[in-house]
Structure 1
Amino acid sequence: KRQPFYYFMLDVQKKHAERGKRYSLREMPEIASPLWANMGSAEKKKYEEMAKYMNKQDSSTGSLKTCHGLDFEVLEKEQRVEASKEKMMKEDVRQIIKQALLKNDLARKNFFLIHVNYFCKSNGGNSQPRYDAAELAILEFSLQDGLGRGMHTIMKLDSLPYGYMYEAKTHTSATHDLPLPPDTLGTIRIREAVVEVIKFVNCNDSDICSPIFTFDDHIPVVRSVFQEVMESLRSSAPMDFRIYSLSELLFHLKNATHEHAVTTATSPPFASVFLAESYLERGTFDYAEGLPCEIHVENDRVPYCSQTKIRGWAYSIIRSCAPDLGIEFVEGKHEPECALPTPQIKILDDASDFTATEFSDRHSNYRPMTAGSSLNLNNTVDSVATSYKDEFPMIRDIRRGKGRGNLL
């Protein structure tokens, strides 16, 4: 028989999963026990009644059902699959950092960050959450070169799922405050945007994209948006896209730079992934000049802009890790212009291989990866923004070309 605590564990596990943190049932007792111990009898009653009800169910089928009629064995199998994916993700991130160290290329290793704002969250056809994208931004950066290529777009959407207008109004008014469908400001649909993102990160013409990192509780949003687009492109070759935890990346990256520091480290490594996540949650650069797009400057929602998010994350990671490698900061690349300077310890030039260099064309320009794109693409700005008027080029403004990785 299942005890009330078991159902409480499942509830806590589900809430963590909605925030992008997935734990196996083996890990849940340690997480849920302190919460259960502090609960009153009135709070526990819900789970006691659930256990009583479920234990009375007819067991002739040999399996228990949830209150929604779902088979517990199927549910637990899905949870094991998710836990396995989580484990593989963590190992993959460790290997990425390890390989960069072996190649002595950690400072020059490029990482991709992504953020997607959405209008509302609804139920998809497979009982999974579905998100209607409102804005998308992606950025490439490295510790040595700072901010590199980037793309940004506001989405075009004709309508919302039936019955979700109130939820969309509530969510958007509390966050990005972009106009709701059918009055959206964008000209690019999410399908076209995701295709351009795949081209942006898939520089080797392989079926495996480079990992894309986002904040932990935002992983389900990005994965859902990508998965929906991939399912609509079934005629295309299968694509393995990896949406990974940003705090997991920072945790291992900071440990690596601290361990291989060429000078006295300005800050200690993070004791856990949760502390790395807390560091990113600070929003140190939420109001820094030059991060948001012009639309969010005008509607006074700068911290919620997708450009603000990814640039702020990149600057935060660079501020934490780059000083360990003796990298000299350049305004607009390693930190926002007009920002308070990051404390740095000066070292001799011959004591470090990690001296900031001028951006190469690879970091200053981008063209779509194929000439077969159906987008109508025009000239864009020629560098990463140093003010809100120099925001990332809109995806609709990117023109076709033979080269890759060049902003026009």
Structure 2
Amino acid sequence: MPKKQPRNSFYFYMVDFREQQKKKGINYETMAEVAEAAGPLWRDAPPNIRAKFEEMAKKEKQKRNIPEMKFTSTGVPLSEIERQEKELRDAEEAERQDIKNMVKLKCFNGAIMQEYFYVIDVNYYCKTGSDYLIGESTVLRFNIQDGIKDHYHQILNPGHIPVGYAYDVKLGSQEIGLDMPDETTKNPREVYETLAYIVDYLKQHETNAGMPPLYTMPDKVAPVQNFILQMCAKSGEDDSIFRIYKLDTLFYTLLNGISEEGFPRESLALAELKKDAFKYTPQLGCEHHEATDKSLECTTSRTKRWAFTILDRCCLEVGVEMLPGKHVPGDFDLDSIHTFREQKKARAGPSVAASQLGAASSNTSASDINHSSFNESADSKKEKEKRTHAPLRMPKTDYSQAIRPAPELTEANFPKLSAGRGRGLAGSFNKMNISK
């Protein structure tokens, strides 16, 4: 037989309520009647009254050896889930505050223009349990003044494929444009060299707060964290020296720190990065992905596009002269972009919101301009003449000559109907006395 559920605090309140009412001469036949009468009073009961009966319910559970902790259907304590969620919220708030403090300090001492930011991206074949099978990584650094400084790119061979994941790895290799892992020629030095280079890369700008954080997109935070943990576990490095932060939080905080006309919400910074205005710019990927026509999936291409998106907005706000290949892709015609901006300002007519229009035109970024359409001539500034359309036919055209006259008809053209049986009228005409 199933065990009875432990009695809760409301049950003990009903028992007490029943006894109190019995002393007053009010009797209840069933506990359902007691519950109906005691329910509203229990809902409005003060905490000191509730505490008495909650303590009675607690002792009842202890007497029957019933644990007070609640579990999910998979056996995980709810308190553990709440603790993890709280730690995640605290970590996100600490990350946001750390970025805010860094940007505020650098803007205050005027070093924000030369401050290097490190962007990281990884490609993985698939997720195997709690780990990711990493096949490629890129770390890139840039600042507002000089643009993209350099980057470190590495294609990794994860080696052994876990049992049951071969098909997932095959699909992943086709999606990210990498070869299938070679389980026979795994080189463990790749992991050590990659980690050592990243550590040396970050230590160049180490401060009292530690090494600078690595920024990536929100959907890549978990793979990057797992990639760092795997490398640290294999090489014996302390993983606590790394900080993985969200790139959209940096973009939002950085633009609002250097300009009064930044993003009103952090979600707009993420939308700007996801728009990926430089997505189809050629020659941004590594040699392997360029050769296989998969440059869009290359980690080098993605990190460069993220950096170009941030620099495209920030350089415009602080008046930094953008250099091809550093702040924007190398094939961008910056002279035409500047000409277009000046023409756009000149075309904006005076209005009540002239200042807002001027501000909006000055915020036009290079990614919003198609640099292949700047061949506007001086004549295009003049008012265009009104075009006249020729009618489909002349209004006074005489079409009477083209109309054929109607032929003359006689009685021979209309023969009489023959008499017969049926639904016609020919048979009834003979019976009718109709004179011509």
Coarse TM-score class (shorter-chain normalised): 0.5 to 0.7
Would the alpha carbon gap of residues 193 and 166 (structure 1) be closer, same or farther in structure 2, given more than 3 Å must change? Answer: same
1:343, distance to aligned residue in structure 2 (A): 4.7
- 1:323 aligns to what? 316
| Structure with max Cα Rg | 2
Tell me whether 1:179 sits opposite 2:179 in the alignment.
yes
1:310, distance to aligned residue in structure 2 (A): 0.5
Tell me whether 1:276 sits opposite 2:269 in the alignment.
yes
1:59, distance to aligned residue in structure 2 (A): 9.8
Asked if 2 retains the 8 angstrom alpha-carbon contact of 1:248 and 1:273, the reply is yes
Would the alpha carbon gap of residues 185 and 285 (structure 1) be closer, same or farther in structure 2, given more than 3 Å must change? Answer: farther
Would the alpha carbon gap of residues 86 and 159 (structure 1) be closer, same or farther in structure 2, given more than 3 Å must change? Answer: same
Asked if 1 retains the 8 angstrom alpha-carbon contact of 2:124 and 2:133, the reply is yes
Asked if 2 retains the 8 angstrom alpha-carbon contact of 1:134 and 1:156, the reply is yes
Asked if 1 retains the 8 angstrom alpha-carbon contact of 2:159 and 2:186, the reply is no
- 1:141 aligns to what? 142
- 1:303 aligns to what? 296
Asked if 2 retains the 8 angstrom alpha-carbon contact of 1:296 and 1:305, the reply is yes
Asked if 1 retains the 8 angstrom alpha-carbon contact of 2:232 and 2:238, the reply is no
Tell me whether 1:79 sits opposite 2:81 in the alignment.
no
- 2:159 aligns to what? 158
Structure 1 window deviating more from structure 2 (283-292 vs 97-106): it is: 283-292
- 2:30 aligns to what? none
Matches within 5 A, 1:218-367: 218-234=220-236, 236=237, 239-259=240-260, 268-341=261-334, 343=337
1:78, distance to aligned residue in structure 2 (A): 1.3
Letter in 1 for 2:93: K
Q: 2:70 aligns with which of 53, 64, 70?
A: 64
Asked if 2 retains the 8 angstrom alpha-carbon contact of 1:121 and 1:131, the reply is yes
Name the % identity. 24
- 1:23 aligns to what? none
User: C-alpha deviations, 1:291-328, integer Å up to 9, x for none?
Assistant: 10011011111111000010000000000111111111
Matches within 5 A, 1:200-219: 200-203=201-204, 208-219=210-221
- Look up the SS of the partner of 1:133 in the other structure: strand
TM-score, normalised relative to structure 2: 0.59
User: C-alpha deviations, 1:96-126, integer Å up to 9, x for none?
Assistant: 1111111112111110001011111111xxx
Runs of 4+ in 1 over 4 A off after TM superposition: 183-188, 204-207, 236-239, 342-346
1:283, distance to aligned residue in structure 2 (A): 1.7
Letter in 2 for 1:181: P
Cα distance in 2 between the residues matched to 1:80 and 1:139? 32
Alignment RMSD: 2.4
Would the alpha carbon gap of residues 274 and 340 (structure 1) be closer, same or farther in structure 2, given more than 3 Å must change? Answer: farther
- Look up the SS of the partner of 2:259 in the other structure: helix
Cα distance in 1 between the residues matched to 2:73 and 2:239? 36
Cα distance in 2 between the residues matched to 1:145 and 1:186? 38
Structure 1 window deviating more from structure 2 (106-115 vs 284-293): it is: 284-293
Structure 1 window deviating more from structure 2 (285-294 vs 297-306): it is: 285-294
1:185, distance to aligned residue in structure 2 (A): 9.8
Would the alpha carbon gap of residues 205 and 148 (structure 1) be closer, same or farther in structure 2, given more than 3 Å must change? Answer: closer
Would the alpha carbon gap of residues 340 and 65 (structure 1) be closer, same or farther in structure 2, given more than 3 Å must change? Answer: farther
Letter in 2 for 1:62: E
Would the alpha carbon gap of residues 185 and 313 (structure 1) be closer, same or farther in structure 2, given more than 3 Å must change? Answer: farther
Matches within 5 A, 1:187-202: 189-202=190-203
Would the alpha carbon gap of residues 248 and 109 (structure 1) be closer, same or farther in structure 2, given more than 3 Å must change? Answer: same
- 1:99 aligns to what? 105
Cα distance in 2 between the residues matched to 1:186 and 1:279? 39
- 1:396 aligns to what? none
User: C-alpha deviations, 1:203-225, integer Å up to 9, x for none?
Assistant: 26679221110111101110111
TM-score, normalised relative to structure 1: 0.63
Asked if 2 retains the 8 angstrom alpha-carbon contact of 1:153 and 1:186, the reply is no
Tell me whether 1:114 sits opposite 2:115 in the alignment.
no
Cα distance in 2 between the residues matched to 1:185 and 1:117? 20
Letter in 1 for 2:224: V
Cα distance in 1 between the residues matched to 2:210 and 2:250? 19
Cα distance in 2 between the residues matched to 1:231 and 1:216? 24
Give the helix-richer structure, 1 or 2.
2
Would the alpha carbon gap of residues 237 and 312 (structure 1) be closer, same or farther in structure 2, given more than 3 Å must change? Answer: closer
Cα distance in 1 between the residues matched to 2:251 and 2:65? 48
Would the alpha carbon gap of residues 190 and 67 (structure 1) be closer, same or farther in structure 2, given more than 3 Å must change? Answer: farther
Relative contact order, higher structure (CA 8 A, sep 6+): 1
Aligned length: 274
Cα distance in 2 between the residues matched to 1:59 and 1:148? 65
1:69, distance to aligned residue in structure 2 (A): 1.4
Asked if 1 retains the 8 angstrom alpha-carbon contact of 2:205 and 2:212, the reply is no
- Look up the SS of the partner of 2:72 in the other structure: coil
Structure 1 window deviating more from structure 2 (185-194 vs 82-91): it is: 185-194
1:290, distance to aligned residue in structure 2 (A): 3.0
Structure 1 window deviating more from structure 2 (271-280 vs 184-193): it is: 184-193
- 1:20 aligns to what? none
Asked if 2 retains the 8 angstrom alpha-carbon contact of 1:155 and 1:185, the reply is no
Cα distance in 1 between the residues matched to 2:270 and 2:205? 31
Would the alpha carbon gap of residues 74 and 104 (structure 1) be closer, same or farther in structure 2, given more than 3 Å must change? Answer: same
